[in-house]
Amino acid sequence: MNNHLTHREMLTYVDGELSRTESRRVNKHLHSCWTCLAEMERLKGDIAILLDAQNEAFTPALPPPPRPWLGFDVILAHNRSKRPPSWLIRFGGEIRAFLSPAWITTVSAVVLLLVFCGYSVFRIQTVSAKEVIQKIEVADRQRRTITKDHVIRERVHIRKTTRGHASLNSESLDTWKSPTSAYWNIEHRDSAAADLKAKYQTLKIPFDLPLSAASMHSWEMAAGGNPTVSQEGPDINLIFANAHGEEARPVDRVTLLIEQRSWHVKQMTLDFSDASFEVTEDEYSLVPTSEVPPDLLAYLQPPAAEPAMKRVSDIEMSALHPPTVNLDRVALDVFATLHSLKADLGEPVTVTRSQRGIVVGLSQLPADRQHEIHAALYGKEGVQLELEAPRASLRKRAVASEQAVPADSSTALQIASQEGNEDQRLVKYFGTSQKQQDFTNKALGTSTTILSHLYALKGLQTQFPAERPLTPEQQSQLHSLVQDHLSSISANLNDLTNQLASLDRNFGVSSKTPVTGPVAATWQSGSLDLLEKARVVDHLLRALLTTSQLPASPESALPQIDQNLFMLRAELDSFNKKDVH
């Protein structure tokens, strides 16, 4: 065979860096040229030698660090103190050499004056929407700081304009807020206020004072898109609108008019597809509880009720007050809610315990899904939702690393590689590549479903280890969740076993006596083992059915898959017999 492969082609092929066309050409050549095939094997062997040389000879022969390592705290502190001065300071230092102190003082004063004037004139052009939102939050927090002897009353004027009609409906509405509750005093069912309230209920927007920062955030989530800010006379316009081309949102546009002096929201306009609501503040006051009607006060400050989700200051957050909620109960409630939304099955939702409650991380989810889960968990006692992603990457990496198959897996994973042959044999077996693709999608889909339930079980196991004492009611709720996952795993195991049976028959894989392993005492201790086996099955399936870097032959992969499926089944059955308690 002429035109042998070059060394460069071989290395690029081994590294998986060739284009698809080139890769096919090289693959085809290797099928017909023993010389290149043998050389390719030698190259792989030599790469192993290079790695060994790097690990066993090169790296150990490098000189050790000359100094002891600094602690990370020290590096951070050192960085703060040694951070180079800004260019302004450096520039100041340069000119100080040839300017007198009097000159410096005069020039500095003039520069400061110019900067101040420029800031005053142009500051709205330089303030971002994010900064505006932050300022609104700060101002709102100050306004809402009240004692138990007062409640807030915000009287607003609501104007409703129905699209396609000239009619205008308007009325005043009194809204009330205590540290724990909010109340809208709607007088008439057929009114602009009642219609607005219906919008809140339909979209599961939590009730609060209509022009509060909390309301703003709720509508911001409903509108989506990036906020924009603009100047309108002495005030600022902040707009949340669905970007062009994005999917439809429940509200088309939310416009806030903000008083720049106080950063208070004066007016909010909600544009829906069928109507528009303009909410303007008429009056805002703190009312002594002695002046509040008794029935309203009883609602706003129920004597026996604990605050469901307390808005605490940063000082209070430093765990001066230990949590009063039962975290197990809250965690079970959260898992049950997530499970009802199927949000525990492979979606990047994290559930962790903090000093203040159960933290549910939703930052990796799309806005729509965030909104859905937010609505479902909203108002649950002791639940904190994390919607932003300052450290999303870490969590993402953590999820990714969890799902990777470990290189030193304790479960035997032996893949016999016979490059190129299996693909043709599988195509021949399936008849067409489309049928093969369909089979692959179905089998891998089933395997992924099994894995997602096992990851959910792992989440439960992390929160509820076997030694954690639970009340009978909590045990029952946990049992129900675990049983649900185990049933789904069991059903999908059956599916996968049936799907693979015909492959076993075709490739003559005999059903040897399966080896059974030790069975875990509890579902908590067994769930990790189950997960490990399911990951091995998934890995083998991908090696067998997809264009894997480590392709596997049916004769090698199928018996291992069958063995692991059998062990999974045996362990599941043992849990069912023990009734997973």
Partner 1 sequence: MNNRSMGDAKSLEVFGLSRRDAAFAHAPMLHERVAAIYETHREKIYGFLVGQGLDPAKSQELAQEVFLRFFLALQKGGEIESEQAWLYRVASNLAVDYWRREGRSMWVELDSLPAVADRLHSKDLTPEAAAVRAQKLKRVAAMLARLPKEQRLGVHLRMQGLRYCDIAKILGVSVPTVSGLLSTAVERLRRTANE
Instruction: Supply the minimum distance, in Å, between the C-beta of residue 316 and partner 1.
Output: 10
Burial category of 288 from C-beta neighbours within 10 Å (exposed 0-12, middle 13-18, buried 19 and up) = exposed
Establish if 145 lies at the interface with partner 1 (CB under 8 A).
Answer: no
Closer Cβ to partner 1, 43 or 519, answer by number: 43
Instruction: Supply the minimum distance, in Å, between the C-beta of residue 551 and partner 1.
Output: 20
Establish if 53 lies at the interface with partner 1 (CB under 8 A).
Answer: yes
Instruction: Supply the minimum distance, in Å, between the C-beta of residue 283 and partner 1.
Output: 18
Binding test (CB under 8 A) with partner 1, winner from 387, 405, 416, 470? 387
Helices 213-223, 367-377: axis angle to 10 degrees equals: 130
Establish if 293 lies at the interface with partner 1 (CB under 8 A).
Answer: yes
Question: What are the strands, taking DSSP E only, across 264-313?
Answer: 264-271, 275-288
**What is the 3-state secondary structure of 306-325?**
CCCCCCCCHHHHCCCCCCCC
Structure tokens given for 506: 């075709």
Phi-psi region of 224 (alpha: psi -120 to 50; beta: other; left: phi over 0): left
Binding test (CB under 8 A) with partner 1, winner from 37, 137, 155, 276? 137
What does the per-residue mask of binding to partner 1 show for 311-350, with x meaning CB under 8 A? xx-x--x---------------------------------
Residues 216-275 that bind partner 1 (CB under 8 A): 217
Instruction: Supply the minimum distance, in Å, between the C-beta of residue 209 and partner 1.
Output: 10
Q: Are 402 and 462 in contact (CB under 8 A)?
A: no
Binding test (CB under 8 A) with partner 1, winner from 58, 91, 103, 116? 58
Establish if 359 lies at the interface with partner 1 (CB under 8 A).
Answer: yes
Measured in degrees and rounded to the nearest 5, phi and psi for residue 309 equal -135, 105
Closer Cβ to partner 1, 205 or 567, answer by number: 205
Q: Are 360 and 384 in contact (CB under 8 A)?
A: yes
Binding test (CB under 8 A) with partner 1, winner from 99, 127, 392, 415? 392
Binding test (CB under 8 A) with partner 1, winner from 51, 77, 104, 112? 51
Residues 7-36 that bind partner 1 (CB under 8 A): 7-8, 11-12, 15, 17
Closer Cβ to partner 1, 86 or 120, answer by number: 86
Establish if 389 lies at the interface with partner 1 (CB under 8 A).
Answer: yes
- Cβ count within 10 A of residue 555: 13
Establish if 378 lies at the interface with partner 1 (CB under 8 A).
Answer: yes
Binding test (CB under 8 A) with partner 1, winner from 105, 226, 228, 393? 393
Instruction: Supply the minimum distance, in Å, between the C-beta of residue 396 and partner 1.
Output: 7
Q: In whole angstroms, give the CA distance from residue 317 to residue 208.
A: 22
Structure tokens given for 572: 């599941």
Closer Cβ to partner 1, 88 or 407, answer by number: 407
What does the per-residue mask of binding to partner 1 show for 550-579, with x meaning CB under 8 A? ------------------------------
Structure tokens given for 552: 């596997």
- Cβ count within 10 A of residue 197: 18
Three-class SS of residue 174? Answer: strand
Name residues whose C-beta falls within 8 Å of residue 183's C-beta, 6 or more positions apart in sequence: 175, 176, 177, 207, 296, 299, 300
Closer Cβ to partner 1, 356 or 542, answer by number: 356
Q: In whole angstroms, give the CA distance from residue 422 to residue 27.
A: 13
Give the Cα-Cα-Cα angle 14, 18, 23 (nearest 5 degrees). 85
Establish if 41 lies at the interface with partner 1 (CB under 8 A).
Answer: no
Closer Cβ to partner 1, 63 or 469, answer by number: 63
Establish if 386 lies at the interface with partner 1 (CB under 8 A).
Answer: yes
Q: Are strands 264-271 and 275-288 parallel, antiparallel or unpaired?
A: antiparallel
